[in-house]
Structures are given as structure tokens and as C-alpha cells.
């Protein structure tokens, strides 16, 4: 079992075709087929099956590809962490963010960070909430800016920032706002903001018209164009509120308080720590942590790492007796 074969399997899973995997890896299609075949023989289970003129992953292949993706992500993460430990200023920082944060929070933060740390290689991926957390689980990003991590994601909150979701509309729409007739502008499926809108409307026992526009920018532009109202982050529309193109619509239960979370995976390198320090210096709040317990009688205090998010809340890991 080689790293090359694992990367071939992951590429096949990501692209859905031998041709796509070959293009991604810059190899021939026959090389892809040979790698997958060798890996299947080594495991003793079929990883692909024919479909039409191509191949697709079997159920076993799909399961193994998920594990392979995490293993490769962890290997890449470890290699980067080793380099960063020697010189954090020459490391890399892979960020991911939900759309609103990626468009309205991170550009200024990254520009200022770049001025202070010009040799750190930066990469940012903006994606819907579900995809962002998948990147964390696969060890393919170092830090995420999003809402609260969902249960089941092994992650550590390293900083938070207040965030308000407000109902906003053009002045003419706000003046004539009506629960029954004013359209609500929605994001795409998989967006955490869309889920919040649907949950909010359900809590108000209303079913107004809905218009799906697909992206945060389109939703905001639609609100400015008087297509309807939208539940959006105040951070995303600060300028539009300031010049009067949008106004907030007072509705029950709003604004919704949904803080931004800066989240790292189970492991984070020294370059990531530089950015976390930058967040704190920029006004983001460090996470609230509980004081350590009293040392047990006759022994040393148990070692603890920071708070981690497990099943929906902040959990302290199990104490480890002794150790450095």
C-alpha cells in the first residue's frame, strides 16, 4: 500500500471518473486503473465496478476512500507542522470559511496578517457550511471561520466574534413588509443560513413566499433590488445599512445572535498559532475555559488539553494522570 495509490483512490472518489483522476494527478488513465487494481488486490476487496464505459467506486471503495482522504490529510498536516515548528514564519496556513465570513471578514484580516507575516503561504477556500466542516474532518484545512461546529466534528474553538443575523430589506419593502406576502430570499441547499431562515419562519408559524438565489451575494443584491427580505449577517451588509440602501426589519426574535467561531482541527501547527494570535489582537475573543481542578492528593495535577467540541458543546478531554 503506497501513498501514491491512496492519492489515486481519493482523486477517483473526488472526480468520479478515471479521466478526471488522471487529469488531477497528471498521469495516464491506464496508470490510474493500474493503481486502483493493485490497491484492490492488496486489500482483497473490489474498489471499483464498471458502469457504462467507465468505472465507479463500490460501497467498499467509497468507505475506504473516506479513510484514505483522512490519512493523507493527516500526513500532509504532519509534514507542514514539522516545517512550521522549525520556522513558523515559513509555514503555510490553509483556511476555509463559510461564504459570509470569506467575503466580508477574512479579506481584511488576511491583508493585515500578510503585512506582519509575509512569508507564510496562505490559501483560502470558501464553501457552504457542510463542506467546510468536511474539510476539517479530512485534515485538509488548518483553521475555519464559520458558525458553531456541528456535533461529531473533532475541533477546538480558538476564538469567537459576535455576529448578529438581522432581517433586512430595501426601504420600500420594509415599509410594506407583510408575513403572508413579502418574499424571503434564501441561500442554496447546504447553507447554514438557509437552515436558520427555515427554522426561524417555522418558529413564527408562517409560510411566506420563498425565492432561492443561491449565494450570499445574490441574496443581498436581491434585497437591494427590492425582491424581498433576507436574514443576513449584519457584517455582510454594514455598508448598505450605512448608506440606506437596506434597512433592518423589526421582527420577533431578531436579531439572532450567532457568533463567529474560529476553529482548528485536532492538531494545529505553529503558523496556525500565529494567525490565532492575530485574531485575538484584532478583537476576537479567546474561548472561555474552565479552571483546572485541584491536584489529586499525593500526586501531580492531571494534564489537560484545551476545550474541544464533541457532541454539540464544549467538552474537556479525559484527564491523563502524570506526564510532563
Domain boundaries, the chain: 1-86, 87-162+259-286, 164-257
Q: Averaged over 256-282, what is the pLDDT?
A: 92
Superfamily classification of domain 87-162+259-286: Periplasmic binding protein-like II (3.40.190.10)
pLDDT at 63: 92
Q: Averaged over 296-323, what is the pLDDT?
A: 38
Q: Which of 1-5, 265-269, 303-307 has the highest mean pLDDT?
A: 1-5
Superfamily classification of domain 164-257: Periplasmic binding protein-like II (3.40.190.10)
pLDDT bracket for residue 289 (50, 70, 90): low
Q: Can 1-86 and 164-257 be said to share one CATH topology?
A: no
pLDDT digits (tens, 9 = 90+) for 72-96: 888 887 887 787 777 788 888 999 9
pLDDT above 70 covers what percent of the chain? 89
pLDDT at 231: 96
Nearest by Cα to 228 from 243, 246, 240: 246
Instruction: List the CATH code of the domain at 1-86.
Output: 1.10.10.10
Residue 227 pLDDT exceeds 90 = yes
Q: Quick check: helix, strand or coil at residue 294?
A: coil
pTM of the model: 0.69
pLDDT digits (tens, 9 = 90+) for 10-66: 999 999 899 899 999 999 988 998 999 999 999 999 999 988 877 889 999 999 998
Nearest by Cα to 47 from 28, 29, 25, 67: 67
**How does strand 260-264 pair with strand 156-161?**
antiparallel
**How does strand 92-97 pair with strand 143-146?**
parallel
Q: Kindly compute the dihedral angle of the four CA atoms of residues 15, 17, 19, 25, in this order, to the nearest 10 degrees.
A: 40
Rg (CA), the chain: 23
pLDDT at 152: 82
> Between 87 and 279, whose confidence is greater?
279
Residue with cell 487529469: 23
Residue 324 pLDDT exceeds 70 = no
Amino acid at each position: 500500500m503506497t501513498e501514491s495509490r491512496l492519492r489515486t483512490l481519493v482523486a477517483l472518489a473526488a472526480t468520479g471518473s478515471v479521466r478526471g483522476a488522471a487529469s488531477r494527478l497528471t498521469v495516464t488513465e491506464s496508470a490510474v486503473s493500474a493503481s486502483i487494481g493493485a490497491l484492490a488486490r492488496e486489500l482483497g476487496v473490489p474498489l471499483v465496478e464498471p458502469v457504462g464505459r467507465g468505472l465507479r467506486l463500490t460501497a467498499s471503495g467509497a468507505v475506504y476512500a473516506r479513510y484514505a482522504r483522512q490519512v493523507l490529510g493527516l500526513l500532509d498536516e504532519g509534514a507542514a507542522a514539522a516545517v512550521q515548528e522549525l520556522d513558523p514564519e515559513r509555514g503555510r496556513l490553509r483556511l476555509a470559511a463559510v461564504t459570509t465570513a470569506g467575503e466580508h471578514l477574512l479579506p481584511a484580516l488576511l491583508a493585515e496578517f500578510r503585512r506582519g507575516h509575509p512569508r507564510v503561504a496562505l490559501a483560502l477556500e470558501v464553501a457552504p457550511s457542510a463542506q467546510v466542516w468536511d474539510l476539517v474532518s479530512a485534515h485538509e484545512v488548518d483553521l475555519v471561520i464559520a458558525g458553531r461546529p456541528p456535533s461529531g466534528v473533532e475541533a477546538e474553538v480558538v476564538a469567537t466574534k459576535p455576529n448578529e443575523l438581522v432581517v433586512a430589506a430595501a426601504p420600500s419593502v420594509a415599509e410594506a413588509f407583510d408575513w403572508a406576502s413579502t418574499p424571503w430570499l434564501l441561500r442554496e441547499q447546504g447553507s447554514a443560513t438557509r437552515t436558520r431562515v427555515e427554522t426561524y419562519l417555522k418558529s413564527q408559524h408562517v409560510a411566506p413566499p420563498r425565492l432561492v438565489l443561491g449565494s450570499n451575494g445574490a441574496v443581498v443584491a436581491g434585497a437591494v433590488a427590492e425582491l424581498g427580505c433576507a436574514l443576513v449577517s449584519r457584517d455582510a451588509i454594514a455598508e448598505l445599512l450605512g448608506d440606506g440602501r437596506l434597512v433592518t426589519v423589526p421582527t420577533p426574535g431578531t436579531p439572532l445572535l450567532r457568533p463567529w467561531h474560529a476553529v482548528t482541527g485536532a492538531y494545529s501547527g505553529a503558523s496556525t498559532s500565529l494567525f490565532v494570535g492575530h485574531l485575538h489582537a484584532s478583537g476576537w475573543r479567546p474561548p472561555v475555559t474552565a479552571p483546572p481542578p485541584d491536584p489529586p492528593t499525593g500526586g501531580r495535577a492531571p494534564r489537560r488539553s484545551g476545550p474541544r467540541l464533541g457532541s454539540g458543546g464544549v467538552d474537556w478531554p479525559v484527564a491523563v494522570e502524570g506526564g510532563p
